[in-house]
Structure 1
Amino acid sequence: MADGPKVLVAGASGFAGALAARLVDRHPWFALGPVTSRSDVGTRLDALYPHHRVTRELEELDLDRHAADVGAAIVAYPHGASAPVVRELRERGVKVVDLSADFRLKDQAVYEQWYVEHPAPELLPEAVYGLPELHREELRGASLVACPGCFPTAAILALAPLSGRIEDVVIDAKTGISGAGRAATARTHFVSVDENVTPYGVGHHRHMPEIDQEVDAQRPVTFTPHLVPLDQGELVSCYAITDEALSQDELRGLYEARYGGERFVELVDRPPGVRQVRETNFCAIQVHADPRTGKAMVFAAIDNLWKGTASQALQCLNLMFGRPEDEGLLG
């Protein structure tokens, strides 16, 4: 029986929130607390997502009642809507992992340029960017964690070993339709996605400043995502010009030194596909030094709903409470 704190999942009717509820429900230490929804109150979660097999009924969020009974919360609301809920949870002493963009960007002005007027800017100094491979020590004992976007998770992990040496980089990303969220996915017609590949957010995708913030490059990144006919999964192909051309041994050595001890980053010998990381918290990375152009080519695959969102949230939650980082993520 779980003997850790109860975890509230707010926004559990969405793809990420539902998966987060499933992972917490099966965790050996945390206990699943209330699961709430803004649109499906009274519906059992397993009626919306039978494969998660979480039998809890979705409730309307009542912070006075719910926050008194939990030690942590995962908030899976859209940007702008999340911050006021996070503020109230923090005022009640609840530790929070936020899945929205509201606390990812350290600069309030940059956030407001790409999103909306910030609803709770006073919490920005408290928030830790929730990528354990880069911010592990800050995450230990943190009270507010901003879980990264799925594209930034893959792109930042792909480029982190080159940080400080990148003169320019182009990131070509492919994602399945679940990355748009439950509501947008429901509006997407199968015939418009099947046997098709479409770029979107060209030149102004909201994840670009997040990648710029975490990757030390001389110029802003060039990032273009593409929608592909998959339900979930994500692949980023990065083409970087470094301060000096690297050999294959030098490039591989940088990645082995950076990720050799990481539980959830796999360095592979062939370009990865999304199937090899599906429904896991792993990021698979392959590097290739191109002698013809002198560029470093890096390919990274994740599951956008898992390492890109919900399982990474649990990885962060483990660190926040001093638990083993991989607890509940390998079974």
Structure 2
Amino acid sequence: MADQANATVLIAGASGFAGALAARIIDRHPYFNLSAITSRSDAGKPLSELYPHHRVPLTLEELDLDRHGDVDAAIVAYPHGASAPLVAELLEGGVKVIDLSADFRLRDLATYEEYYVKHPHPELISEAVYGLPELYRAQIAETDLVAGPGCYPTAAILTLAPLARAGLLDDVVIDAKSGVSGAGRGATQKTHFVSVDENVTPYGVGTHRHAPEIDQELDAQGAKGIQVTFTPHLLPLDQGELVSCYVTPGSAEVDDIIELYEEAYAAEPFVDVVTRPPGVRDVRETNLCAINVQEDPRTGKILAFGAIDNLWKGTSSQAVQSLNLMFGRDETEGLL
């Protein structure tokens, strides 16, 4: 392990949107040192050639743990199924790991294999902590393996967690919308401009793999056995995400519910309870989640809106928030 004042960090899979942004944040971080960035498809290219706006002065390399494994931490931005074997090797070498794939998000193996692939290292699932600091701050600080949440679950869970804890989530519909970067660099490059521009399209209807992840975490917050109705939509934006959640809360008064949210997030540095429904521009390129809660007086439903930047709070900056906690740093360090 590196012996120095600052911790060294490897970004594996840095040619994708999430890995490249993680490299940018770590490169500017006052405590972490960006040790190396790797890519299976773009080795030999400067990251600034792929992403000039990130201004990271390193060249992508082919991963070789004999050369790259002597680090304090790693952020792994590999596809689902491909990530777990590398995570296992890094943990064996004493490296703290944040995995951005879904390989360790779901606690039930059968559910993971239903929605993804056969799990390469199921023995590690129980070691992982779900990487949502607002819910698992103490556990993240003690673990060596953090499972980075999906971007939709990040927004949805933060937007609904106070209601789940209060027992007010009997029925939930989540209408979610995201920019095209949420599909990843490879899928985005294959998406024809004319199919996205001036259009909005639902996808993964009734089958989206983030639904059981949302169910799992809302259940853990007190909404036992919940199954949300979740439908994502693709918007002609590069990044940004909005979830509109429709909840039947029983007899609870909206003023009490708003107070519930204000109390729940009063001390959270990256969650803002706001007075109007947020837009994605309100949180662009930040680690913030902006939440607004209102009542529909005609139906009695609670309308809860949450906005994040899917690449930042939804993925990479949230990973750094967790990494700060894993190293005993202020969780806002390098993110404000």
CA distance in 1, matches of 2:103, 2:226: 24
Deviations 1:57-111 (A, max 9, x none): 000011122112x100000001000000000000101000000000000111111
1:79-228 alignment, distance < 5 Å? 79-163=80-164, 164-216=167-219, 217=223, 218-228=225-235
Once the two structures are TM-superposed, the CA of residue 291 in structure 1 deviates from its matched residue by: 2.4
Q: Which moved more, 1:108-117 or 1:93-102?
A: 108-117
Q: Letter of the 1:328 partner, please give it.
A: G
CA distance in 2, matches of 1:33, 1:121: 29
Secondary structure of the 2:188 match is helix
When normalised by structure 2's length, the TM-score is 0.96
Number of residue pairs matched by the alignment:
327
Q: 1:317 maps to which residue?
A: 323
Once the two structures are TM-superposed, the CA of residue 325 in structure 1 deviates from its matched residue by: 0.5
Secondary structure of the 1:300 match is strand
Secondary structure of the 1:16 match is helix
- Aligned: 1:45 with 2:47: yes
**RMSD value, Cα:** 1.0
**Identity value in percent:** 70
Q: 2:17 maps to which residue?
A: 15
Deviations 1:259-316 (A, max 9, x none): 1110000011010000010000000000002222121110000000000000000000
**Of residues 273, 278, 286 in structure 1, which corresponds to 2:284?**
278
CA distance in 2, matches of 1:219, 1:17: 33
CA distance in 2, matches of 1:112, 1:245: 39
CA distance in 1, matches of 2:87, 2:226: 33
Deviations 1:235-268 (A, max 9, x none): 00000112x2322211101101111110000011
CA distance in 1, matches of 2:16, 2:244: 28
Q: 1:290 maps to which residue?
A: 296
8 Å Cα contact 1:177/1:228 also seen in 2: yes
8 Å Cα contact 1:15/1:181 also seen in 2: yes
Q: Letter of the 1:253 partner, please give it.
A: E
- Aligned: 1:35 with 2:37: yes
Once the two structures are TM-superposed, the CA of residue 126 in structure 1 deviates from its matched residue by: 0.8
